[in-house]
A and B are shown apart, each in its own frame.
Chain A
């Protein structure tokens, strides 16, 4: 481990090395990324109404329907248009959104009272039936909603009156409230508009702070202020535009030229690229939430042997990868990332078994497993994500030193993701993984032996048992202990390798004030952005 990443990441200010400390432009405010949720800059000035904030987005949303699109580029727009029953505040606490109050009747029954006088963008008043409809729509097979399996726990949703919604779930389910507070899982959609248009891919009407005005695929999404938003006075902006610019060099150029106000980048060299750009400031990631994950094909030799997997785990130097690929801006991680501590692991390599780089140990383990002369294997990566390719290149060199000869195989993304989740690759495969709104969502489907997308097709009764306990235990401290044990066990067995957790840096024009967000690994780098509180100075 190098000096740069020694500090635990989640609870104290980020270590700043000399290259990162450079703040850009004359008089740039010190928009330092501090620990987790951040509200800044201290609002010395009174917010000003008006103006349109332009965001440079990298990918065109494949439709805007929050219940149909599995793409994060859809939700990052939909979250400004639709509301949820519950939401997270910038301090990550779950608070009411459309729900004014709620009551936990039993471990499996919850009653929500809706906020009064909420009006859809098309003028109709919000009714409990819309909430019921939204969940039934996701559960309907014909919708082909990616969130159907998340909500399969629901037994029924009832709307006894216009302002009351009752959920009955099949068994106690710890992640239920965090799912309700997750913008894409929990978006409430209007029955009449869906029925009139078939879906919400190109049209939208929500109860959120912004109204969809225009969506031209590959070009732009224009949102304008919702004048009847239920939080009075918000939003401050007259409009919000997502301009779709696929090329990163072009996005940076647009920010420099001032034609866009905001962008994010996972490239650790972004600060050097924007050096000297007047009126531009950088925001460090609030926490490291996005991980890379490498899976082994455990349906056949050699990776069925735990010694070979452990050899790979100690054959790579996570610290060196973080130093070179991320230039220090990353952290040691398990599948539950450090930004989710205390559920997630947030320490250095020494706290987890087989995490410390040791080429000699790797060779010894290989020899014990019958590969004294070394081992040849493959690693699939997708060129869609240059960072993954770079990570693969560095790992290849490191593993060569441990006697593991890796051939990198570049696979186009459509095939790579399919091969990865279905374990249809030869040796190893690595893709970037996204942040999930609950520890259970992070691990259950990809670790459970009964799941079709168990990564690498491994079976471990202890893992299955911990997963079940984690999802049904409602006591927070006991849940934390369960997931800690799971992470230790997963590292010991080296079923999967997580080389690092990283984050995205945001770059803003210095006219952007009052920008607040919650960490997460979604595009836009945040799990939720509060543009309704943002204003242009």
Chain B
């Protein structure tokens, strides 16, 4: 197990290098001119000012050199400063990442808390009214884009429940309870769509397991139906669900981009999207490095969890 973890961690290095190189290349391919954006229309006409700024930002060096310079600083623990605002990239990420992480975790909790029970219910009542209504619920949320659900929540909230906070952010460190409360509408808008996917997936997985030999054996031995479902089948059925939820988590961080925009949350998504729009190369690089590291680590963690569950199954 230790060797496996070590190997996976080592593989992290080429992955991150690949991601950062890819990002670097991609971002510099985007047409558009950072200098014009920075200086505004009027000042950008002054060639001297332009060149001075281009030089100060190292934009006159070859791409490969720019990349190596950036990489060297990162290895020294320096993510640099935003080209647009001059803010420290590390500070900006330290400020915004917890917001996105909290949003993703809350959304995932909601998704799991709603999705798995619904999926299990649907599977045990396959073909009946409950199954059908779960399906309708799932499809409703699967097919509605998150920005649309979010807008409905905000507009509906302001009109029918103005006392309910739908917008704005309270840092978790300031007041955990208020923080969670303020983020609930946003997390629900994001989480419900995923809960629908999880419900569908759990249902499928459960049906599969319920049909397998050991469940049939258990049933034949006369174990009460409920015990079969919850003790044996559920545990087995959850393995693929865990794997699936893992991939969803990466998607979730992406989906947060849009939800943060709608609910005005000061998270990573806003930072990255703005950085892309403004060609803020250092900010994009830092943010993508952080996001992908997180994604790779989450995948690794899930993989380990998966293996743990798997092993337990082998030995029960």
Touch A–B, Cβ below 8 Å: yes
Residues of A near any B CB (own CB < 8 A):
60, 62-63, 68-71, 141-142, 144-150, 198-199, 201-202, 216-219, 243-247, 249-250, 252-254, 256-259, 384, 412-415, 417-418, 421-422, 441, 445-446, 451-453
A445 to B41, CA, bound (A): 9
| Nearest neighbor of A415 in chain B, beta-carbon distance | B32
Q: Which residues of B contact A451 (CB under 8 A)?
A: 45
**Is residue B31 contacting chain A, with contact meaning CB distance below 8 A?**
yes
Cβ distance A217 to chain B, nearest Cβ, rounded Å? 7
Contact of A253 among B87, B157, B266 (CB under 8 A): B157
Closest chain A residue, CB of each to CB of B165: A259
Q: Would A218 and B266 count as touching, CB distance under 8 A?
A: yes
Q: B43 at interface (Cβ–Cβ under 8 A)? A: yes
Cα–Cα, bound, A249→B42 (Å): 32
Contact A415 B31 (CB under 8 A): yes
Question: Which of B67-75, B245-253, B256-264, B291-299 lies at the binding interface?
Answer: B256-264
B102 within 8 A of A: no
Q: Is A246 within 8 A of B277, CB to CB?
A: no
Contact B36–A421 (Cβ < 8 Å): yes
Do the beta carbons of B56 and A70 come within 8 Å of each other? no
Tell me the bound Cα distance from A414 to B278 in angstroms. Answer: 6
Q: Please, could you name 20 A-B residue pairs with CB atoms under 8 Å apart, sorted by A?
A: A70-B39, A144-B52, A149-B42, A149-B43, A217-B85, A217-B92, A245-B167, A247-B262, A253-B157, A256-B159, A257-B166, A414-B32, A414-B33, A414-B279, A421-B45, A422-B33, A452-B45, A452-B46, A453-B41, A453-B45
Question: Closest B-chain residue to A61, C-beta based?
Answer: B85
- Residue from A148, A253, A422, A445 within 8 A of B155 (CB atoms): A253
B residues within 8 A CB of A446? 41
Beyond the given pairs A60-B270, A62-B85, 19 more chain A to chain B contacts, judged by CB atoms under 8 angstroms and listed by A's residue number, are A68-B86, A144-B38, A144-B49, A146-B40, A198-B86, A201-B87, A217-B87, A218-B274, A249-B154, A250-B151, A250-B263, A254-B167, A257-B162, A259-B167, A259-B168, A384-B277, A414-B34, A414-B37, A417-B41
Task: Say yes or no: is B236 at the interface (Cβ < 8 Å to chain A).
Answer: no
Please state if B96 and A149 are interface contacts (CB–CB under 8 Å): no
> Which A residues lie within 8 Å of B169 (CB)?
219
Check if B95 is an interface residue, CB within 8 A of chain A: yes
- Which partner residue on chain A sits nearest B162 by CB separation? A257
Q: Does B136 reach chain A (CB closer than 8 Å)?
A: no
B200-244 CB mask vs A (1 if < 8 Å, else 0) is 000000000000000000000000000000000000000000000
Q: Which of B33, B40, B52 contacts A141 (CB 8 A)?
A: B52
Given contacts A62-B84, A70-B40, A147-B43, contact A243 B158 (CB under 8 A): no
B53 CB–A CB distance under 8 Å: yes
Q: Chain A's nearest CB lies how many Å from the CB of B148? A: 11
Which residues between 257 and 285 of chain B lie within 8 Å of chain A, taking CB atoms? Answer: 261-264, 266-267, 270-271, 274, 277-279
Docked Cα-Cα span, A451 to B43, in Å, equals 11
- For B86, the chain A residues whose CB sits under 8 A away are 63, 68, 198-199, 201
Task: Give bound CA distance, A146 to B277, whole Å.
Answer: 19
Task: Say which residue of A145, A243, A249, A415 sits within 8 Å of B168 (CB atoms).
Answer: A243
Q: A253-B157, A253-B158 are in contact. Are A452 and B47 (CB under 8 A)?
A: yes
A147 surroundings in chain B (CB, below 8 A): 43
On whether the beta carbons of B151 and A249 are closer than 8 Å, the reply is: yes
Residues of chain B from 38 to 66 with CB closer than 8 A to chain A in the complex: 38-49, 52-53, 56
Do residues A418 and B92 form an inter-chain contact, with CB atoms below 8 A? no
By beta carbon, the residue of chain B nearest A65 is B86
Contact with A along B3-22 (1 / 0, CB 8 A): 00000000000000000000
State the Cβ distance, A317 to closest chain B Cβ, in Å.
Answer: 28
Cβ-defined contact, A60 with B274, below 8 A: yes
Cα–Cα, bound, A254→B262 (Å): 12
Tell which of B43, B154, B264 touches A145, judged by Cβ atoms closer than 8 Å: B43
Name the contact of A62 in the complex, choosing from B32, B162, B270, B278 (C-beta under 8 A): B278
B243 to chain A, nearest CB (A): 33
Q: How far is the CB of B88 from chain A (nearest CB, A)?
A: 9
In the complex, which of the residues A63, A141, A218 contacts B96, with contact meaning CB atoms closer than 8 Å? Answer: A218
B residues with CB within 8 A of A? 30-34, 36-49, 52-53, 56, 84-87, 92, 95-96, 151, 154-155, 157-159, 162, 165-169, 261-264, 266-267, 270-271, 274, 277-279
Contacts of B264 on A, CB cut-off 8 Å? 219, 243-247, 250
Which residues of B sit under 8 angstroms from A146, Cβ to Cβ?
Answer: 38-40, 42-43
CA distance A145 to B44 in the complex (A): 10
Known: A146-B42, A253-B166, A414-B277. A218 touches B270 (CB 8 A): yes
A144 touches B33 (CB 8 A): no
Q: How far is the CA of A412 from the CA of B162 in the complex (A)?
A: 36
Q: Which residue of A lies closest to B42 (CB)?
A: A445
Judging by beta carbons under 8 Å apart, are A219 and B49 in contact?
no
In the assembled complex, which residues on chain A have CB atoms less than 8 Å from the CB atom of B84? 62-63
Q: How far is the CA of A345 from the CA of B217 in the complex (A)?
A: 89
Contact A413 B158 (CB under 8 A): no
Q: Is the CB of B33 within 8 A of A70?
A: no
Is the pair B279, A70 in contact by a Cβ cutoff of 8 Å? no
Select which of A216, A258, A421 is within 8 A of B44 by beta carbon.
A421
Taken together as a complex, chains A and B put the C-alpha atoms of A177 and B43 apart, in Å, by 20
**When the two chains form their complex, are residues A250 and B32 in contact, meaning their CB atoms are under 8 A apart?**
no
* A59 shortest CB reach to chain B, Å: 9
With A216-B95, A412-B32, A414-B30 in contact, is A258–B37 under 8 Å at CB? no
Q: How far is the CB of A458 from chain B (nearest CB, A)?
A: 15
* Residues on the B chain within 8 Å of A216, using CB: 95, 266
Instruction: Give chain B nearest CB distance to A143 CB in angstroms.
Output: 10
Contact partners of A142 in chain B: CB under 8 A: 52, 56
Which residues of the other chain, B, contact A441 by a CB distance below 8 angstroms? 42
A453 touches B42 (CB 8 A): yes
In the bound complex, CA of A148 to CA of B168 (Å): 37
Flag if B53 contacts A144 (CB, 8 Å).
Answer: yes
For residue A141, which residues in chain B have a CB less than 8 angstroms away from its CB?
A: 48-49, 52
Residues of A within 8 A of B34 (CB): 414
Instruction: Name the 4 nearest CB pairs between A and B, nearest first.
Output: A70-B40, A414-B32, A253-B158, A219-B266
CA distance A71 to B41 in the complex (A): 11
Measured between beta carbons, the chain B residues less than 8 angstroms from A219 are 169, 264, 266
| Residues of chain B lying within 8 A (CB to CB) of residue A256 | 158-159, 162
Complex Cα distance, B44 from A415, in Å, reads: 14
A422 to chain B, nearest CB (A): 8
CB atoms of A253 and B33 under 8 A apart: no
Report chain A residues within 8 Å CB of B96. Answer: 218
Complex-state Cα separation, A252 to B156, whole angstroms: 12
B277 touches A413 (CB 8 A): yes
CB distance from A211 to the nearest CB of B (A): 21
Beta-carbon contact of A247 and B261 below 8 Å:
yes
CB-CB nearest in chain B for A420: B41
Q: Give complex CA distance A69, B85 in Å.
A: 8
Min C-beta distance of B39 to chain A, whole Å = 5
* In contact, A246 and B261 (Cβ under 8 angstroms): yes
Chain B residues closer than 8 Å to A68, beta-carbon distance:
86
Residue numbers in B under 8 Å from A453 (CB-CB): 41-42, 44-45
CB distance from A442 to the nearest CB of B (A): 11
